[in-house]
Amino acid sequence: MARVVIDPVTRIEGHLRIEAEVDGGQVKDAWSSGTMFRGIELIVR
C-alpha cells in the first residue's frame, strides 16, 4: 500500500496537507490537516 502526501495544497487560503493511502489505484483511506489557525473560523460562528 502506497502513501501519497500533498503538502502544501495550493490555491487555497491558508495551509493544508492531504495524505492518502492508495492500493491498486484506489484510495483506501485519506486524511487532511490544517497547519495554520487564523481564528476567522471562530469569528464567523
pLDDT of residue 44: 85
Region at 31 (left for phi over 0; alpha for psi -120 to 50; beta for the rest): beta
Sign of CA dihedral 13, 7, 21, 24: positive
Sequence spans of domains, the chain: 2-43
Cα 33 from Cα 45, distance rounded (Å): 20
**Each residue's pLDDT tens digit in the chain (45 positions)?**
899 999 988 887 778 899 999 999 999 999 999 867 777 778 888
pLDDT of residue 9: 87
pLDDT of residue 22: 97
Rg over alpha carbons for the chain, rounded to the nearest Å, is 14
pLDDT of residue 25: 94
Cα 5 from Cα 38, distance rounded (Å): 23
